[in-house]
Structure 1
Amino acid sequence: MARGDQRAALVTGAAGGLGGAIARGLAADGFALVVTDLRADDLNVVASEWERQGASVRAIPFDLSDDRAREGFVEAAFDAFGRLDCLVNNAGVSVLSRGDILDVTPESFDRCVGVNLRAQFFLTQSVARRMIRTPSAGRRSIVTVSTVAVDHLVGTRLAEYCIAKAGLSHSLRHWATRLAPEGIDCFEVRPGMMKTDMTSTSTASYDALIQGGFVPAGRWGHTEEVAQAVAMLASGRLSYSTGQTIHVDGGMRFKTF
């Protein structure tokens, strides 16, 4: 059970490698966890593991694209510990098939936009409304995980994924502007090359890019490094820095010569 004064965070996509690392990082930083994912069995397994390690956890499987159930899900997330101090928009899907933009299908495009942009936009809206209706003595936060390939880089084999994430990135400015007066800080985290389920099919090509100097740090990123950035942003200690983007990419966005 959470303590009466313990902060609570909602993490989406928590059954995956990156979402799991973020949840663990927030738990280590003192947060009670509400975790969600479409994969109920996997979510319950990791939630039970975190509970055995001493974390306060409530697992609520949910399809983020389900408009009709969203409000009920958000109410359940708030009710789990009587409060919600942080939303981490981490859930996302990749393209159905990596390839030329000329071959992108409507199914793959709609899937990326539907989950990576639309679903996260309306979840943020619902959580923000509920936060505004719930008084809080401290600052609260919404942290959105996007990708390095929305501004400085072009993922030529992931067009629909990057396009959706770029929209997500732009929406941050709107949320940050609207929610700052409400004591809710909004941030974006842009990971670079992380070894997760989503990148497992491209390990060899990414290894070659890293060896060729594409990433100044000279290595893959660790999901724990993204988790550390999220925990720092969720802490409430950056109260005059809303709307900021934190790059966790080993310098991948830089062009070197």
Structure 2
Amino acid sequence: MTRPAAIVTGGARGIGLACAQALADTGFDILVADLSEKPADDLAADITARGVKFAYVSCDIADLTGHAALVETALHAFGRIDCLVNNAGVGAAVRGDLLDLKPEHFDRALNINLRGTVFLSQAVAKAMLTTPGDLAKSIITITSVSAEMASPERADYCVSKAGLSMWVKNLALRLAAENIGVFELRPGIIRTDMTAGVTAKYDALIDGGLVPAKRWGEASDIGAVVATLAAGKLGFSTGSIINVDGALSVPRL
């Protein structure tokens, strides 16, 4: 029986790891692409214990020259690519007055969060079009509520995610007739290593009513949505934006 296969960028920890785990639990072989030269000792064991194959590629998605090798590694390991989870990304290098935003910080955010993700999606989509069989195929991109909600102290991050949102719309239109589901997930305030330094700040904001659900989001909340989309159960919803934020982004009076 053929198993589907997924690539998860930034999949060694946090939201990416939760996505890899959720996909493995639903029967996907998993390739994790991350910056580390080698995966953490327990990462391969964690994924393979779920009864699937595991592969790892060390890469920086901002380096477009590495995309072909990433795709080839997945095809060599699994013989197919059925799902891409675009999770790798960076926050603002410096938070502060947007009038002081430096070009190098802007370029860093755009190169990783937008440019790298755009062209990796392009490379994987081409490979998917040559993958035989009738298993569901999907490209799922993790953006942020910041794709729509402005934060002037980190405008570079917001711009990168807003641009990525428009890319998803265009990609969904291009691939709809090819039966490849394209989705955008917008996480809200999620408890990960990246938010560990601002835990006290967001604890207070959540207690004050910022998040109507009155709790932090967990990485597993994102993973559950990714696994559902990758299974093809919502294929006719291609092009959709799914907010995973406890109603944070719902406009209120």
TM-score for the superposition, normalised by structure 1: 0.94
CA separation in 2, counterparts of 1:181 and 1:15?
Answer: 33
Over 3 Å counting, the alpha-carbon distance change for 1:155 and 1:47 in structure 2 is farther
Deviation at 1:17, TM superposition (A): 0.9
Counterpart of 2:181 in structure 1 is 185
Q: Which of residues 219, 222, 239 is equivalent to 1:223?
A: 219
Give the unaligned 5+ runs of structure 2. none
| Alignment correspondent of 2:147 | 150
Change (3 A) 1:14 1:158: same
| Structure 1 pair 103–197 and aligned structure 2 pair: CA distance change class (3 A) | farther
| One-letter identity of the residue aligned with 1:104 | L
Are residues 51 and 134 of structure 1, via their aligned partners in 2, closer, same or farther at CA, if it must alter by over 3 Å? closer
Q: Which residue of 1 aligns with 2:230?
A: 234
Task: Give me the CA root mean square deviation.
Answer: 1.4
CA distance in 2, matches of 1:93, 1:24: 21
Pick from 159, 166, 176 the counterpart of residue 163 of structure 1. Answer: 159
Alignment CA distance shift 1:44-1:92 (3 Å): farther
Whether the aligned pair in 1 keeps the contact of 2:64 and 2:120 (CA below 8 Å) is no
Residue type matched to 1:132 in 2? L
Give 1:197 shift: 1.9
Secondary structure of the residue aligned to 1:119 is: helix
Kept in 1: contact 2:25–2:50 (CA 8 A): no
SS in 1 for 2:153: coil
Provide the C-alpha distance between the structure 2 equivalents of 1:186 and 1:192, rounded to a whole number of angstroms.
Answer: 20
Q: Distance in 2 between matches of 1:208 and 1:42?
A: 35
1:244 aligns with 2:240: yes
8 Å CA contact retained: 1:36, 1:43: no
User: Aligned residue for 1:26?
Assistant: 23
TM (norm. structure 2) is 0.95
Q: Taking structure 1 as reference, are residues 213 and 95 closer, same or farther at Cα in structure 2, changes over 3 Å only? A: same
**What is the CA-CA distance between 1:233 and the residue it aligns to?**
0.6
Cα distance in 2 for partners of 1:100, 1:28 equals: 43
* Aligned equivalents of 2:176, 2:51: Cα separation in 1: 33
Does 2:59 align with 1:57?
no
Q: Does 1:103 align with 2:85?
A: no
Runs (4+) off by over 6 Å: none
**Which residue of 2 is the match for residue 125 of structure 1?**
122
Correspondent of 1:7 among 4, 9, 27: 4
Q: Aligned residue for 1:47?
A: 44
| 1:213 maps to amino acid | G
The one-letter code sitting in structure 2 at the alignment partner of 1:239 is G
Q: How many residues align?
A: 253
Unaligned 5+ segments in structure 1 are none
Residues 175, 186 of structure 1: 8 Å contact kept: yes
Between the aligned residues of both structures, percent identity stands at 45
Q: Which amino acid letter does the alignment assign opposite residue 21 of structure 1? A: A
CA deviation digits over 1:146-179, x for unaligned, max 9? 001211x212322101110110011111000001
- What's the CA shift for 1:45? 4.0
Check whether the contact 1:43–1:59 (CA below 8 A) recurs between aligned residues. Answer: no
Quote how far apart the aligned CAs of 1:43 are: 4.7
Alpha-carbon separation, structure 2, partners of 1:79 and 1:61: 16
